Amino acid sequence: MRRLTSVVAAALLAFAGLGAASGAPAQAATEAEYVALGDSYASGVGAAPYDASSGDCLRSPTSYPRLYAAAHPKYALKDVTCSGATIADVRNDQLSALSEKTSLVTLTVGGNDAQFASVVQACLTQSDSYCATATNWMSHYARNQLVTELGGLYKDIKARAPHALVLVLGYPRTISPTGSCGAIDLSAAKRTSMNGMADALAEGTLAASISSSVYFIDMRNQFNGHEACGSDPWINGVDLSRLTEVFHPNAAGYQKGYAAKLSATWG
């Protein structure tokens, strides 16, 4: 996300044709191309330090694509995720990494299109009613226009990578109902509003995945009890010295949340 300021069966048929040519080295015979797409939740923002070569994209060695690839050496990872990416950014800057050789694609995107950073800023600095208005507006977008926009992106991904399994990982609910959030706290009403927006993002993403025949992985239950501000958070709270990471998963969130759920879903 921007800085704070069944489908599987068809994919199995595609995987069946991934065998390497006769005589190729054993390692090459088992290696499959994995392309990671998406925004800061995919690049690993919140789990510093970041790969210096990734610049402003802030790719972390403990992002879920890198953790998954490390645990599944049959995959050769192309990580083109980037903090701040919108649907248009993924289409314009990341889809070129895909090809007919791609066998696995993961994607998390849509939060920036729903103005996540602006909504968080509004809820941290404005009144309960202002926060409710901002989250309600973006929730309506997430359940309606976002569905069409994501559906178009999914179809573009499948056109470029026709043999790939496409796994879309959603966003968790951000904030625990109780507990301190750090430098700036949030009322119960604001927490409810922000988590309602997370639900809307999940519902919109699910609807888009169904219409486009890609597989949606809902992260809300995986993070249940581990939201920001709670007793065992897998999501960063409010640290004014690290604004980019506010309400993004920490290292435990990427490992125990995203990577664990991805492995449980797809081996």
Mark 80-100 as b/e (b = at least 16 C-beta within 10 Å): bbbbbbbbebbbeebbebbee
Work out whether strand 215-217 and strand 75-79 pair parallel, antiparallel, or are unpaired: unpaired
Residue 60 falls in the annotated catalytic set? no
Cα–Cα distance measured from residue 21 to residue 209, given in angstroms and rounded to the nearest whole number: 33
- What Å distances lie between residue 228 and 84, 92, 164, CA to CA? 20, 32, 34
Taking phi first (over 0 means left), then psi (-120 to 50 degrees means alpha), and beta for anything else, what does residue 55 get?
left
Residue 63 falls in the annotated catalytic set? no
Structure tokens at 77: 């990872």
Helix (H, G, I), strand (E, B) or coil at 73: coil
Structure tokens at 200: 């809307």
**Residue of 6, 22, 40, 127 marked catalytic:** 40
Cα–Cα distance measured from residue 175 to residue 169, given in angstroms and rounded to the nearest whole number: 18
Cα–Cα distance measured from residue 165 to residue 235, given in angstroms and rounded to the nearest whole number: 28
Lay out the sheet containing 102-108: strands in order across: 75-79, 32-38, 102-108, 165-169, 215-217
**Residue of 60, 163, 176, 248 marked catalytic:** 248
Half-sphere exposure of 90 (CA within 13 A, CB side): 34
* Stretch (H or E) spanning 62: none
Catalytic positions are 40, 248
